[in-house]
Amino acid sequence: MQTNPTPPPFTSLVALGDSFTEGMSDLLPDGSYRGWADLLAARMAARTPGFRYANLAVRGKLIGQIVDEQVPLAAAMKPDVITLVGGLNDALRPKCDMNRVRDLLTEAVKRLAPSCEQLVLMRSPGRRGPVLERFRPRMEELFACVEELADKHGARVVDLYGAPALADPRLWDVDRLHLTAEGHRRVAEAVWQTLGHEAEDAEWHVPMEQTLPPGWVSRRVADARFARQHLLPWIGRRLTGRSSGDGRPPKRPELLPYEGQA
């Protein structure tokens, strides 16, 4: 992981992406989502008076939508740090033109890198499971593109895909698509360290202690509930071209002082 001996005093952060950056499924009591980007912003704000934060992420967004709707806004804000995570929703669709995804991601990075002091990209986390295995080649193609763009444009890469802890199903919500609160905490720590800050949890990537797996009956019941409540609706949206984020505004559309809790 790349680090700086002394990180600069970053004064602003803009996060771009989809549900992962919006914070699903780190649910707060009021029904809103927190997530790793909010946690990261809270840490940075605690050390920098007047720290400003915007989160343009919207669940379900494809990389083309991120380029059209979020990239121009983020570039105009000219923050110190921009985080960009996108393309995975495309890769998980039945039909996906990976050449187009690469081209759009390249366009996004070319536009964002000159507009901030530090651009942060990610190799997104992936849990273990049979559904993901079908799409793993596309994911790895996407992440190879991320690495190439980072080398070319001076971006930093947070390698969540290679972190053993984040492959553990226990760090994923019942929908098997989004991290739990503990998963988001670990991601925030990973980005924090990638930006050059001293580790608060040097073992964020270390797997949780092993526990006895649930029995066969419990697993089958959980599989049936997952298919009914999450998998089938997800497939239905993909087949009809709909998204869970249709009509939903960005999480935090303006670059304003942030006083959230870490």
pLDDT at 128: 74
pLDDT at 230: 47
pLDDT at 3: 47
Instruction: Give the predicted TM-score (pTM) of the model.
Output: 0.86
Model pLDDT for residues 87-97, shown as the tens digit of each residue:
999 998 888 99
- Select, from the ranges 12-16, 240-244, 257-261, the one with the highest average predicted confidence (pLDDT): 12-16
Helices vs strands, H then E, count in the chain: 10, 6
Residues 251, 193: Cα–Cα separation, whole Å: 24
pLDDT at 25: 84
- The answer on pLDDT for 242 being more than 80 is no
- The answer on pLDDT for 14 being more than 80 is yes
Q: Describe the chain by its helix, strand, coil percentages, rounded to 5.
A: 45, 15, 40
- The answer on pLDDT for 34 being more than 90 is yes
Among 86-100, 114-128, 235-249, the range scoring the smallest mean pLDDT is 235-249
Mean pLDDT rounded to a whole number for the chain: 88
Cβ-based neighbours of 257, under 8 Å, separated by 6 or more:
45, 50, 51, 52, 53
Strands 252-257 and 52-55: antiparallel
